[in-house]
Amino acid sequence: MKDNWLDRRAAEDASVVHDVETIDTILRRAADLRTFVRVLLPSGGRVFDGRIHTVTSDALFVEPINVDDTFVVPTMTLGMAQFRSGEHNCSFITWSRGSGEYRRGETLTLVEFQKPEAMIIAEGEDTIGPFDGSQPTFAWVSPQGSIRLVARSLGPHLGIFRLPEMHPPVAVGDTIGLHPSQAAPEQAVQGLVRWRHGREILLEIIDEHLALWTQHRHDAGQALPEAA
């Protein structure tokens, strides 16, 4: 029988919100928190990162980050933006009204977009990460001893890890045990390797160990500053 783990673990369906007040609330909260946003300009496939800066009655301002002096977004450019609001993934499509410098104590470069009137909201899982690749670490309880796995992201049922350069053979379908590096081996949980690319693996934690996994995931999230 085919294992439909993908469908089993898929997040809930995305839905469309086009209530103006709801969208305004989501965007203003994102602006208050200077929420990280990734913007795609489909013409040319350009992507830039930024933080939601200001929301007005008809406009949305994004402060781009890590851009140089040549950065410019022309007016009438189609833009698609994606950001997280709590446990939700939010995305929308709108037109730019151009980019420019604004003075607000300091001089800022802001990109103005027409405030979206529709938004897709996906009730994504409460995934922690992506991490920067240095922390947290888990120990794989392997026959060859303790193998260090670097966590990339930790979801309620799934974890993505990076294997060290030297590691025992691992393939899709294998089951491995792992525990936080600072925890005892008896705290290990079992995970099934569902995907592998190079040294990256995706583990699905077995149902019997989800309670323990939830605790490990919580501890890992507490130990780290929130990743962008």
Partner 1 sequence: MSGGEQPIERRFLANSSTDVLALLGKCCYEERLATLFVPSLPEATTARFIACTGDRLLMEPEKKSDVLNTPPLSLISGVFTLDQDAYLFQTWLRQGRTMDLSKDRLIFELAAPKAVVSIQARSAYRVPIDPESEFAVIVIAAGKTIPVTPLNLSLGGVRVRLPAELGSLPVGTSLKVALKLAPITALLSATVRWAQGPIVGLIFDECVKEGELVPTAEIKELVRMLEATHLRQVFNRVA
80 binds partner 1 (CB under 8 A): yes
The residue from 29, 123, 124, 199 that contacts partner 1 (CB under 8 A) is 124
Which residues have CB under 8 Å from 76's CB, separation 6+? 95, 96
Q: What minimum distance in Å lies between the beta carbon of 118 and partner 1? A: 4
The residue from 32, 33, 34, 56 that contacts partner 1 (CB under 8 A) is 56
35 binds partner 1 (CB under 8 A): no
CA torsion angle 69 43 16 96 (round to 10): 40
Amino acid identity of residue 188, one-letter, is: A
The residue from 32, 87, 126, 200 that contacts partner 1 (CB under 8 A) is 200
d(CA 148, CA 227): 21
34 binds partner 1 (CB under 8 A): no
> Which C-beta is closer to partner 1: that of 122 or that of 192?
122
The residue from 22, 65, 100, 175 that contacts partner 1 (CB under 8 A) is 100
Q: Please, which of residues 144-173 interact with partner 1 by CB under 8 A?
A: 158, 160
45: tokens are: 């496939």
2 binds partner 1 (CB under 8 A): no
178 binds partner 1 (CB under 8 A): no
59 binds partner 1 (CB under 8 A): yes
95 binds partner 1 (CB under 8 A): yes
Size of the site for partner 1 (CB under 8 A): 56
> Which C-beta is closer to partner 1: that of 223 or that of 228?
228
25 binds partner 1 (CB under 8 A): no
Binding residues for partner 1, rule: CB under 8 A, are 6, 9-11, 13-16, 18, 20, 38, 40, 42, 45-47, 53-54, 56-59, 61, 75-76, 78, 80, 82, 89, 91-95, 97, 100, 102-104, 110, 112, 117-120, 122, 124, 130, 158, 160, 194-195, 197-198, 200, 202
